[in-house]
A and B are shown apart, each in its own frame.
Chain A
Amino acid sequence: MTAIIDYGAGNLFSVKNALDYLGIENIITKNADDLKNADRLILPGVGAFPDAMRMLNNSGLTEIIKEEAKKKPLLGICLGMQMLFEKGYEFEETEGLGLIKGSVKLMTPKDLPIPHIGWNELVLNNSCGLLQKGGEYVYFVHSYAADCPSENVSAYCDYGMKVPALVFSGNVYGAQFHPEKSGEAGLEILKKFASL
């Protein structure tokens, strides 16, 4: 069972639609026991870092996620990926989940507009459980990006700067792009996550 964590800020139904389509058993939940009983967790997210962290903290799930992430695979998507880091700097400094080393800062692409919206190519940096090749185009919508050690980056994309697109640390994974909106390439990544 894959638990999609519902803390009030997410593209939950798109993720659920994609998992349903792939025949991956899943549940949208804010119940602590569901998170403990699940085989793996997905943390979605849309919006701003401080609001989302506040909502997650208010839901009482923060400590449970940190604890469960030691035992089972966790995938953060978009803002959910950014929340895996130690700190975020959107509007104000906010403490993240601290599951991957690094912080999240406003993008500074040279001569290109932000947000970074559209299909961009994954360039492999380190092979991980979700990606072995690179070269796939996936769909991005974001203005902030992770600043983290290269060893935690599975793939970058090029948008006037090297943008960490897929990150990992142990069994914690984060996708800056939306696998649930990235066609076949995105579904493939979700399928790999479900078989971890």
Chain B
Amino acid sequence: MLAKRIIPCLDVRNGKVVKGVNFEGIKDVGDPVELAVEYNKQGADEIVFYDITASFEGRGVMLDVVRRTARQVFVPLCVGGGIGSVDDFREVLRAGADKVSVNSQAVKNPKLISDAAEIFGSQCVVVGIDAKRNGMGGYSVYINGGRVDMGLDLGDWVKEISERGAGEICLNSIDTDGVRGGFDIDMLNFVCERVTIPVIASGGCGKLEHFSEVFEKTNSSAALAASLFHFKELTVGEVKRHLKEHNIPAR
């Protein structure tokens, strides 16, 4: 049986890991390669680097971070942020990433998903989504780090993503991100009911119990967290032990 994955996410700006609350008030928390090595030791099942600089200079720094990490961390690495073309995919994969995550650019140009899936395989195409309740019982997709409402319905978007051959969806709830009140169970169930590809839960965990809750109440395949791990409130190992105590398959 497949293990549920625990994925630390590192938001990287100009080669440093940073963490914001509700996408604002960003703080510096450390060196990405060192943190990746530490999370690997703790038992992380995958590591995500999210490049929030996404400038030309920032990209070079990011690729170097990926290269250095791939020499000492032997679990899948995923890189996202500012990926807008098949060439961007190729560059990041060549640097040693196993998966590439696209978000805003995929909303603007959905063909990027199918093109990348065809060339590199579905397994390396992760579509990140920032979504928020629309006040009418549904959810809307936002882009540019949660700032711009695209008027795109979440249900329609996840169906299109899946049909275009994405390998996974990483669903970040803007409503719960940074609030630490738990993952967005309703939004995750809304998406898990509509696709068969793996869904990664993101945004909102604040304590150990939130990890067992998300796997007990939704069909999510993985849970992603940032600040909890960066600020050393929890280790990945503690989360794994907690899952095993709750009879949730974990590595």
Contact = CB atoms under 8 A, between A and B. Distances in A.
Contacts, number: 64
B16 interface: no
B242 interface: no
Interface residues of A, number: 27
A115 interface: yes
B71 A137 contact: no
A121 B1 contact: yes
B196 A21 contact: no
A121 B70 contact: no
Contacts of B71: 17, 20-21
Report whether over half of chain B's contact residues are helix, strand or loop; otherwise say mixed: loop
A159 B249 CA distance: 13
Interface string B183-211: 00000000000001110000000000000
Interface residues of B, number: 26
A137 B40 CA distance: 14
A183 B98 CA distance: 14
Interface string B34-48: 000000100101000
Given A21-B71, A120-B2, A186-B74, A141 B197 contact: no
B134 interface: no
B40 A183 contact: yes
Give the one of B5, B43, B251 with max A CB within 10 A.
Answer: B251
A97 interface: no
The 8 closest A-B pairs by CB, nearest first: A137-B251, A119-B3, A118-B2, A113-B196, A141-B123, A119-B251, A17-B71, A183-B75
Given A113-B197, A120-B1, 5 more contacts: A119-B251, A183-B40, A183-B74, A183-B75, A183-B251
Interface of B: 1-3, 5, 40, 43, 45, 70-72, 74-76, 96, 98, 121-123, 167-168, 196-198, 221, 249, 251
Interface of A: 13-14, 17-18, 20-21, 46-47, 113, 115-121, 137, 139, 141, 158-159, 180-183, 186-187
